[in-house]
Amino acid sequence: MLEKANGIVLRIIPFTNTSQVVTLLSESGNKMSFICKEACRPKSVFRGQYDFFYTCEFVYQYKPTRSMFFAKEVYPYDLRPYFRSNWRASHCASWLCALVNAVSIGGTPGLYRLLAESLDLLNSPSYPDVAILARFELKLLQQLGLLPNFELSCGCEFNSEAPYRFHIADGNLMCEMHEFKKTSFHEPSLIVNGAVIELAKQLIEGNMSISYTKDSMRKLLRLLGLFINYHIDGLPIAGRDTCITGLLG
């Protein structure tokens, strides 16, 4: 029985000398893998029909007992061409897809929409905005139920000028005055200022027009990197660091 699936190409790996396995995040939020037989041959029907970050339609042979399906035809819809000429945007898109590939769970269409929107924002001839990366990671954590609590757990009034301690293990924020009263000290932790917390809150709300300093964005990305690396296993976190260096310098 032939079925169809639309989605974004997350990963392409060799299957044999001439065949490949393509991992797709479908519109329904499911991660699917397809075997494209003879895809590397010069006259293959798959040649040029899929690539990284493409949105494609896969026609495949469905069998309920299989975890990978044999692709019959592929039709590309959105090629996102600027990723082929803007290496910074391409590197950022690679990290987004690697993160989704590592954490995606079945039946989360919101994750597909988030990835598609972020790739479309990055698919631009201009220099990519690093805020797209930070917003994506925050929104992803929110969908996974792992979003840190950026409200003060000690009950004090928030001051954008004051320093705060963020606990990586439980994702809680506390002021320095009440830190010593915390019954259990979770390591690791780091000190962040109020401007970083305000920036995180704005990005969670979807405000992409917010102004920020490079220092605040760098600190927010460091916080998110430590948190993601602590709570999600098996990520190519070194690729993220290289990506941020290319974007922020």
**pLDDT digits over 202-243, tens only?**
999 887 778 888 999 999 999 999 999 998 887 777 788 888
Residues near 88 by beta carbon (within 8 Å), at least 6 away in sequence: 127, 128, 246, 247
d(CA 238, CA 54): 24
Owner of token pair 């915390």: 182
Task: Round to whole Å and give the CA distance between 24 and 39.
Answer: 16
Q: Classify 82-147+193-248 by CATH class.
A: mainly alpha
All CATH 1.20.1440 domain ranges of the chain, comma separated, are 82-147+193-248
152-181 per-residue burial string, b: 16 or more CB within 10 A, e: under 16: bebeeeeeeeeebbbbbeebbbbbeeeeee
8 A C-beta contact, residue 199 and residue 160: no
Please state, rounded to an integer, the average pLDDT across all residues of the chain. 88
Q: What is the pLDDT along the chain (249 residues), one digit of tens a residue?
A: 789 999 999 999 999 999 999 999 999 999 999 999 999 999 999 999 999 999 999 999 888 888 899 999 999 999 999 999 999 999 999 999 999 998 867 778 889 999 999 999 999 888 788 999 999 999 999 998 899 988 877 667 777 777 888 888 888 888 766 554 454 555 688 888 888 999 999 999 887 778 888 999 999 999 999 999 998 887 777 788 888 888 887
Domain with CATH 2.40.50.140 in the chain: 2-79
- Fold category of 2-79 in CATH: OB fold (Dihydrolipoamide Acetyltransferase, E2P) (2.40.50)
Q: What is the pTM of this model?
A: 0.90
Judged by DSSP in three states, 60 sits in strand
Return d(Cα 65, Cα 52) in angstroms, integer.
Answer: 27
